[in-house]
Amino acid sequence: MHQTVGTDTGTGKGVEGYMNSMAVSVSVSAFTALMMLAMPVPTAAQAPAAGGQKLVPLPIVLPQPMFEGTPQNMKVPNLEKPRYKARDPFLAPAGVVNVARRKKVVSSDVAPVMGDMSMITDGDRTAEEGSEVELGPGRQQVTVDLGAMHEIYAVLFWHFHRTPRVYFDVVVQIADDQAFTRNVRTLFNNDHDNASGLGAGKDMNYVETSEGRLVDAKGSLARYVRLYSNGNSANELNHYIEVEVFGRPVK
Ligand SMILES: [Ca+2]
Ligand SMILES: [Ca+2]
- Structure confidence at residue 49 (pLDDT): 52
* 34 CA distance to ligand 1 middle (Å): 49
**30-38 vs 10-25: helix crossing angle, rounded to 10:** 160
Mean pLDDT of residues grouped by 10 in the chain (251 residues)? Answer: 39 40 41 46 47 91 89 86 92 98 98 97 97 98 98 98 97 98 98 97 97 98 98 97 98 83
- Structure confidence at residue 80 (pLDDT): 95
Contact assessment for residue 23 and residue 39, using Cβ atoms and an 8 Å cutoff: no
- Structure confidence at residue 42 (pLDDT): 43
- Please give the Cα distance from 184 to 176 (Å, whole number): 7
- Structure confidence at residue 50 (pLDDT): 54
- Structure confidence at residue 72 (pLDDT): 67
Task: Considering every ligand atom shown, identify the ligand nearest to the alpha carbon of residue 205 and give its number.
Answer: 2
* 212 CA distance to ligand 2 middle (Å): 20
- Please give the Cα distance from 233 to 207 (Å, whole number): 10
- Structure confidence at residue 47 (pLDDT): 47
Q: Which CATH architecture has domain 58-73+89-249?
A: Sandwich (2.60)
Task: Considering every ligand atom shown, identify the ligand nearest to the alpha carbon of residue 190 and give its number.
Answer: 2
- Structure confidence at residue 82 (pLDDT): 85
Q: What are the domain boundaries of the chain?
A: 1-57, 58-73+89-249
Q: Which of 124, 153, 122 is nearest to 57 (CA)?
A: 153
- Structure confidence at residue 84 (pLDDT): 85
Ligand 2 ion: residues within 5 Å (CB): 169, 191, 193, 195
Task: Considering every ligand atom shown, identify the ligand nearest to the alpha carbon of residue 241 and give its number.
Answer: 1
- Structure confidence at residue 51 (pLDDT): 67
- Please give the Cα distance from 106 to 226 (Å, whole number): 9
Q: C-alpha angle 134/138/141, rounded to 5°?
A: 60
Task: Considering every ligand atom shown, identify the ligand nearest to the alpha carbon of residue 116 and give its number.
Answer: 1
* 222 CA distance to ligand 1 middle (Å): 22
* 6 CA distance to ligand 2 middle (Å): 31
* 171 CA distance to ligand 2 middle (Å): 10
